Chains A and B, each alone.
Chain A
Amino acid sequence: MSKRRIKLAPIVMIAPYLMAMFFCGIIPLISSILEVRNPSWVNLDGGYSTIFKILGDFRVIPALWHTFFLIAIFVPLMIVFILAISLLLDATPMRGNTFMRLVLLLPGIVAGGIAVMIWKTLLGPDIEWTTGNIRWLIGGISFTSGVGSWIVIQYGSLRSISHEVLEAARVDGCNRLQLALRIKLPMIGRYIGYMTILLIVGAIQIYTEPTLLMSTGLTTDWSLSQVAYSYAFRTGDFPGATALALDMLIPNIILAIIFIRRTDFLKRGDRH
Chain B
Amino acid sequence: MTQLTEKKNSLLIKLTLWALTTVVLLPFLWLIKTAGPNYLKNVSDLFHAQDGIALVWLKNSAVFTLGTLAITVLSSITAGFVMAILDIPFRKTMIVITLVTMLIPITAMAMPLYVLVDQVHLNDTIFGLILASSYYPFGAFLSYLYFTSAMPSDLVGMGRVDGLGDLGLYWHLGIPLSKSLWSIVTFFSFISLWNSYQLPKVLLSDPMHSTLPMGVELLFGNGTAIVGVMMLIPVVGLYLLSQRSIERGIFSGAVKG
A residues in contact (CB < 8 Å) with B: 4, 6-7, 9-11, 13-14, 16-18, 20-21, 23-29, 31-32, 35, 85, 88-89, 91-92, 94, 96, 98-100, 102-114, 117-118, 121-122, 144, 149, 152-153, 156-160, 162-164, 176, 190-191, 197-198, 201, 204-205, 207-208, 212, 224-225, 228-229, 232, 238, 241-242, 244-246, 248-249, 252-253, 255-256, 259-260, 265-266, 268-272
Q: Tell yes or no: B17 within 8 A of A by CB.
A: yes
With A25-B137, A256-B103 known as contacts, the answer to whether A16 contacts B71 (CB < 8 A) is yes
Interface string of B166-202 (1 = CB under 8 A from A): 1100100000000010001000100100110110000
- Which 5 A-B residue pairings sit nearest by Cβ, starting from the closest? A245-B108, A270-B152, A17-B79, A159-B249, A28-B112
Partner of B166, one of A9, A144, A242: A9
Which residues of B sit under 8 angstroms from A7, Cβ to Cβ? 86-88, 166
Cα(A212)–Cα(B25), bound, Å: 23
How far is it, in angstroms, between the C-alpha of A157 and the C-alpha of B131 when the chains are bound? 32
Query: A14 and B152: CB pair below 8 A?
Result: no
Q: Are B105 and A16 in contact (CB under 8 A)?
A: no
How far does the Cβ of A97 sit from chain B's closest Cβ, in whole Å?
Answer: 8
Task: Closest B residue to A161 by CB, please name it.
Answer: B249
A28 B109 Cβ-Cβ under 8 A: yes
Chain A CB within 8 A of B21 CB:
yes
Contacts of B9 in A (CB 8 A): 92, 176
Q: Is B126 at the interface (CB under 8 A from chain A)?
A: no
27 CB < 8 A contacts A-B: A9-B86, A13-B86, A17-B76, A17-B135, A21-B97, A25-B104, A27-B116, A29-B101, A29-B112, A32-B108, A88-B17, A91-B10, A92-B10, A100-B20, A104-B20, A109-B232, A113-B213, A114-B227, A122-B27, A152-B246, A156-B250, A157-B250, A160-B253, A201-B103, A225-B106, A268-B85, A271-B149
Q: How many angstroms between the C-alpha atoms of A14 and B24 in the bound complex?
A: 41
Q: Given the complex of chains A and B, what is the CA–CA distance between A110 and B251 in angstroms? A: 27
Q: Given contacts A28-B112, A31-B115, is CB(A228)–CB(B107) below 8 Å?
A: yes
Q: Is B24 a contact partner of A10 (Cβ separation < 8 A)? A: no
With A106-B232, A245-B107 as contacts: A27 and B112 at CB distance below 8 Å: yes
Closest Cβ of chain A: how far from B11's Cβ, in Å? 9
Q: Is A24 within 8 A of B113, CB to CB? A: yes
Given contacts A94-B10, A109-B231, A256-B99, 17 further A-B contacts (CB under 8 A): A9-B86, A16-B74, A21-B97, A25-B97, A26-B101, A32-B112, A89-B17, A91-B10, A102-B239, A110-B228, A111-B212, A117-B225, A118-B27, A159-B247, A190-B145, A191-B251, A245-B111
Verify B113–A111 contact, CB threshold 8 A: no
In-complex Cβ contact of A31 among B112, B217, B247 (8 A): B112
State whether A249 touches B27 (Cβ < 8 A). no
Q: Which residues of A contact B46 (CB under 8 A)?
A: none
**A88-B13 in contact given A25-B101, A242-B111 (Cβ < 8 Å):** yes
Knowing A24-B113, A114-B231, the reply to whether A160 touches B101 (Cβ < 8 A) is: no
When distances are taken between beta carbons in the complex, the residues of chain A under 8 Å from B86 are 7, 9-10, 13
B27, B231, B248 pick with most chain A CB within 10 angstroms: B27
Contact of B216 among A98, A102, A113 (CB under 8 A): A113
**B247 — which chain A residues lie within 8 A by C-beta?**
98, 159
Whether B31 is near chain A, meaning CB under 8 Å from some CB there, is yes
Interface string of B1-16 (1 = CB under 8 A from A): 0000010011001101
State whether the Cβ of B84 lies closer than 8 Å to any Cβ in chain A.
yes
Bound together, the chains give a CA A10 to CA B191 distance in angstroms of 29
- Are A14 and B251 closer than 8 Å at their CB atoms? no
Question: Which A residues lie within 8 Å of B256 (CB)?
Answer: 162
Q: Given A10-B88, A25-B137, do A272 and B253 touch, yes or no (CB 8 Å)?
A: yes
